[in-house]
Structures are given as C-alpha cells and as structure tokens.
Structure 1
Amino acid sequence: MRPSNSVWQGNFGYWQNNFIHNNLLVIGYTGWKGFQSFGRGVVICDVDTKVTHPTNTSLDTVPFTLQFLPSDLIGFYLRSFQDCGFISQSICSSMISSISPAVATYNPHQDILLVLKADPQFEVNFLHQLKITPPDCYEQVRKRWSEFKPSLTP
C-alpha cells in the first residue's frame, strides 16, 4: 500500500503496523462508538499522503480522518471509488466479498475491521484479539478526552 514516489513514510517500508500501533486508541474508540450506534461495520481511516516532508510514523504525527461505516453501507462506499475510477471493478468486488463475511463474524468486543485508505490505495486490516479491546479504547479516550479532543468529535 505504499504510495508511489512518496517520501512521507520515511521508515523505508511497511508503515501500516506502526501507524495502527500509534493510533490504536482512537481507532478502537471509533470502532466501539460506531458499533454502539450502528451495529457491525468497519472503521475507515483516510491517511493524508500529501505530507511533503519525510515522516517517520513512529515519531511524527501523520494527519488522518476516521469514520465508522455500518455494514450495510460498505458496498456503496467502495463502489463510489470504483465509479470515480480510483479502483477497478474486480478490486472493488474482491474487497466487498472479503469484507462482508468478516463484518458478519468479527467480535466487536475484541476485534476491529480497519480499512486504511492512502490515496489511491486501500488496505483491509483485521485487528483480532487485541490486548486493549475496543471498549477499553473507548473508555481510555473518554477519560483522557482533552488529549484527543482536537482530532475527535463527541
């Protein structure tokens, strides 16, 4: 999922693990809050790849936005990128067919389905049996709201 001709990852390789690790509390918060409101679904993380200076995801803040997408809207969301020409029909169909069973069977008390979007690429991550669960992430963020308030809305 490394965007071509990009220097922003700076850590010379697969940056997603560090990114997820550094942002797990807000990802888990978003997943649990979304599940409580809408039921099963996925967390969409849109990572800003327009950063122009070299960035190490372990040390630097990488801008991103999070949203929870209920299961009944996942196909619509992915097809909208197909319609705009960002992903092919076969990739879109493949992603929908792989995400749908996972959404139906994941344990929202322990797992998170995360779609990382770094224009123009998508990556689906199944975060399984987390040491800090989505409900724990939610509570941690709520208790330390002032740390997270700039990037999250209540």
Structure 2
Amino acid sequence: MKLKDSDWQGNFGYWQKSFIHANLMMIGYSAWQGFLQHGRGVIVCDIDRSAIAPNNTGLEVTQFKSQFIAEQELISSIQAFSLDQELIAVLVQAVGNYAPDKEIVLLMKMEHHLEINLFQNLKIFPPDCYAQVSRRWEEFQPCLETYTK
C-alpha cells in the first residue's frame, strides 16, 4: 500500500524497491528470527531520509533500524505510528494470515511516512535468509541496527 503524494515517491517514483532488493536478506533474517522468538509479527524498518536522497545511487549500504513487533503486541505498538483504523485493520489481517516460512509482512517507516508490504512468492524464504546471514554475519551486520521498544 503506497501513500499518496509523499516524499516516498522521489527517485523516479519508487525508491523502496531498490532498498528492499538491497536489504532483503536482512529483512528475511529479522522476520524469521522474530518469528522463532515471538510467533507471527511484522518487521518495522526505520529508514533514514538519506535513503531517498537524489544522490543515493542504491549501490551504497543504507543503514536502517529494524524491529520485530509480535502479533499480540501489534495494536498497542503501532498506535505510535498514527495509522488510521483502516490501515491498522489491514495490517492486523496481514499479520494474522501470512505464512511466516514463505512470506514477510514489512512496515517501512521514514519520519512520519509509512508503507505496509506483504511479500509473497519470494526468491529466498525467511528461514533461508536467516541461515545465510547467520553463516555470513560480518558481511551483513553493518547495514542493520536493531532496536527495542
């Protein structure tokens, strides 16, 4: 679900695609790690504004913060994001129905802009992302900073 008329539409219309492509392994890793620890949930990526800067070619590593919000904590945790009730309902339904071993629910946040995605038909599944990142941690670690509530 894309937001209308926002900064997110910069960089030729959709910079998020290249961000997701560059960081899918870490997003999948975080999704599977969160599922193993807490059950179903959503990955929240808090992305710095520099990710959408016109001079960002997408080749640089874009640091971001990642948090897994478990399904049982979802409504209370996302109230701080000021989502309208319709989007909250969509997010709750997506988290309640996705297949954690094959799909990812992702909420991307940049300042007050939000985008919710449900990734299906992935080329690499979250358990595989987790295994690969775990084996090659030094290669992936610089791009991710996890945070807690």
| Structure label with greater radius of gyration | 1
Alignment of 1:132-147 (within 5 A): 132-147=124-139
Tell which deviates more after alignment, 61-70 or 23-32. Answer: 61-70
Cross-structure match for 1:66: 66
- The runs of 5 or more residues in structure 2 that have no matched partner are none
On the 8 A contact 2:41/2:71 being kept in 1, the answer is yes
**Secondary structure at 1:140 match in 2:** helix
Identity %: 41
What do you get for the CA RMSD once the two structures are aligned?
2.3
On the 8 A contact 2:81/2:112 being kept in 1, the answer is no
Tell which deviates more after alignment, 69-78 or 16-25. Answer: 69-78
**Secondary structure at 1:115 match in 2:** strand
CA distance in 1, matches of 2:61, 2:145: 15
1:119 aligned to 2:144?
Answer: no
Inter-CA distance 143–73: structure 2 relative to 1 (3 Å threshold): same
**Secondary structure at 1:12 match in 2:** coil
Cα displacement (A) at 1:53 = 5.5
Cross-structure match for 2:19: 19
Alignment of 1:1-154 (within 5 A): 1=3, 3-4=6-7, 11-49=11-49, 54-56=54-56, 58-82=58-82, 91-150=83-142, 151=144
TM-score norm. by structure 1 comes to 0.81
Inter-CA distance 52–20: structure 2 relative to 1 (3 Å threshold): closer
CA distance in 1, matches of 2:16, 2:145: 21
**Secondary structure at 2:84 match in 1:** helix
Inter-CA distance 57–30: structure 2 relative to 1 (3 Å threshold): farther
CA distance in 1, matches of 2:19, 2:141: 19
Could you tell me which amino acid in structure 2 is paired with residue 17 of structure 1?
K
On the 8 A contact 1:15/1:57 being kept in 2, the answer is no
Cα displacement (A) at 1:152 = 5.1
> Which has the larger helix fraction?
2
Inter-CA distance 57–106: structure 2 relative to 1 (3 Å threshold): farther
1:2-25 superposed Cα distances (whole Å, 9 cap, x missing partner): 754x9xx6x322011111011000
Inter-CA distance 52–39: structure 2 relative to 1 (3 Å threshold): closer
Inter-CA distance 52–93: structure 2 relative to 1 (3 Å threshold): closer
On the 8 A contact 2:63/2:145 being kept in 1, the answer is no
**Secondary structure at 1:149 match in 2:** helix
Tell which deviates more after alignment, 131-140 or 55-64. Answer: 55-64
